[in-house]
Structure 1
Amino acid sequence: MSHHPDTELLRLYASGAIDTAHGAAIASHLDSCPHCRNKVTLFESEAAEEMIAVSNAEQKSSEELEQVFAHMLDDITTLDADYSKPKVRKPGKVRVDGKEFIVPPTIAPLVDRMGEWRSYGGKVFTSTIDIDEECRVSLLYINKGVQVPQHTHKGYESTLVLHGSFQDENGEYHAGDFIREDGETKHAPQTTEQQDCLCLSILTQPMIFTQGVARVFNRFGKGMYP
């Protein structure tokens, strides 16, 4: 595994301040990435030590400290539903283009909120996931031997590879990899003739196409969501 969430996202995850979609994506990445798991453990320890230091500085009584840790435990338990500390779940199933894929347990609750698949030329399929958040969350399936038109981003694009692989101008990405792009990136993701790809996509703002006839979509709403 070569691509990981950045430190900022891992700290947000460790603190429980991450949004639902990124929380699920990072939890799934952590399942197969000991490097990032160790980082999250460190950030959690730092947060706990900071809380203890603040409590000592304020000279709280032992009873008040117990209340602080009780509230902290309540918060951690509550955050299970927000994917910051995922519960043990069963894997989910995704069916698209006549194929069935198994997705990690941390992603399964998102699958339950999927909409209908939309097809672009029978080569690219997207399904929007209904989450009450500002970002656009989708499952994206790219068939074998397909190139997505080159584009950039008004905000951030986070991608978790769930199955298969794809590549772009910046590298190759395989199952478990987490990639985050912004407006400094122009890329044209593509699959090989031998391998398709299923991804979880999180967009904070629409894509902006930068080449070819796909740029016509930029005229409608200053960009396009998949």
Structure 2
Amino acid sequence: MQFTSGDLDPAASIMISTHLEFCPCCRQKVAAYEDEISQQLAAEESAVDIVDASGTATTETPPLSPDLAAMMQQIMSQNTEPEPNHESPQPQTITLGDKTYPLPRALRRHQQEIGPWSRLPGNIKRAQVAVGGSSKMNFIFMDSDSSLPEHTHQGQEITLVLAGQFHDEHGTYRAGDFIVQTAEHRHVPKTEQGEDCLCLTLLDAPLHFTSGLATLLNPFSQLFFRG
């Protein structure tokens, strides 16, 4: 509902928009929310106070004007997917070595905000996406037979799988899956031999590593979060 009414920050809106590219169920939910909002707007705009001959005030809802009816119809028939950019062609893929992945439509207009790729522990690569807001968005690429050290979360972590799959102690996640982790969760994301995974993540606080040598990174986690 917050996404539909435009109350989310840019990064969260991009995450939802990208998930909608994969999920027909959530597209139906957004369409239902749009219909609900448009009906509320129509009721608010069309309710008028009328005073009859006896001086009694009543509230009636007259028929919509042709212009307003057309506007409501346009709102209710809107496509939840971003409008295509006709000004210039946008890059449509992400290339990592010899592998190429489709770039989500919601991110094509932000191609210039995708930073360089850097390496993380566990044969992981990261590229920041500077779309504004207090939360940090990153592409995360997990190569074949890789894992991120065991960690929990100082805030909320949202992960959207874009291609491939990974698993942890709680399940297996495939393209389109939208996973929310909080301080209550501790996990070790992994890929199997011969498979890799590209994800989009959104963090509102640094990770906290909980085992092995990775715990030595915790004093620097805030720098990682900012960087």
* TM-score grouping bracket, smaller chain normalisation: 0.7 to 0.9
In structure 1, give the amino acid aligned to 2:178.
F
2:24 matched residue in structure 1? 34
Deviation at 1:88, TM superposition (A): 2.4
Q: 1:201 to 1:62 in 2, by over 3 A?
A: same
- 1:132: how far off? 2.1
CA contact (8 A) 2:127 2:140 kept: yes
Contact 1:148 1:188 in 2 (8 A): yes
Partner of residue 155, structure 2: 155
Are residues 184 and 122 of structure 1, via their aligned partners in 2, closer, same or farther at CA, if it must alter by over 3 Å? closer
Contact 1:164–1:197 (Cα < 8 Å) also in 2: yes
Which whole-Å CA distance do the structure 2 matches of 1:52 and 1:211 have between them?
56
Identity of aligned residues (%): 30
**How far is the alpha carbon of 1:100 from its aligned partner?**
2.2
In the aligned structure 2, how far is the partner of 1:26 from the partner of 1:152?
Answer: 23
Alignment partners' CA distance in 2, 1:128 and 1:32: 22
Aligned counterpart for 1:49 among listed residues 39, 47, 65: 39
Superposed displacement of residue 197, structure 1: 0.6
Separation (CA, whole Å) in 1 of partners of 2:132 and 2:47: 39
State the distance in 2 between where 1:121 and 1:217 align: 10
Code of the aligned partner of 2:14: A
What code does the residue aligned with 1:200 have? L
Q: Which runs of 5+ in 2 are unaligned?
A: 50-60
**Would the alpha carbon gap of residues 192 and 170 (structure 1) be closer, same or farther in structure 2, given more than 3 Å must change?**
same
Letter in 2 for 1:88: P
Which residue of the partner structure matches residue 208 of structure 1?
Answer: 208
Task: Report the CA distance between 1:53 and its aligned residue.
Answer: 3.0
Once the two structures are overlaid, the 10-residue window that deviates more, 145-154 or 22-31, is 22-31
1:85 CA displacement: 5.4
Check the 8 A contact 2:121/2:148 in 1, yes or no: no
Tell me, yes or no, if the aligned pair for 1:152 and 1:207 is still in contact at 8 Å.
yes
Tell me the SS of whatever aligns to 1:112. helix
Q: Distance in 2 between matches of 1:53 and 1:154?
A: 43
Q: How many residues align?
A: 210
Task: State the distance in 1 between where 2:126 and 2:43 align.
Answer: 48
Equivalent AA in structure 2 for residue 21 of structure 1 = A
Query: What's the CA shift for 1:104?
Result: 2.4
For the pair shown, the structure with the greater C-alpha radius of gyration is: 2
- What per-residue deviation string (whole Å, max 9, x for no partner) do you get for residues 31-87 of structure 1? 2322111111111111122223333456599999x78x97xx89xx9xx9xxx7511
What's the offset of the Cα at 1:209?
1.1
Write the distance in 1 (CA, Å) between the matches of 2:132 and 2:20.
24
Contact 2:151 2:208 in 1 (8 A): yes
Instruction: Pick the aligned partner of 2:6 from 10, 13, 16.
Output: 16
1:1-226 equivalences in 2 (<5 Å): 11-56=1-46, 59=49, 86-88=82-84, 92-120=92-120, 123-220=123-220, 224-225=224-225
C-alpha distance in 1 between matches for 2:64 and 2:140:
51
Over 4 Å off, 4+ runs: 56-64, 221-224
What residue is the counterpart of 2:57 in the other structure? none
Offset of residue 224 of structure 1: 4.5
Q: State the alpha-carbon separation in 1 of the partners of residues 159 and 173 from structure 2.
A: 10
Q: CA RMSD in A?
A: 3.4
Change (3 A) 1:176 1:63: closer
Question: Counterpart of 2:113 in 1: which secondary structure?
Answer: coil
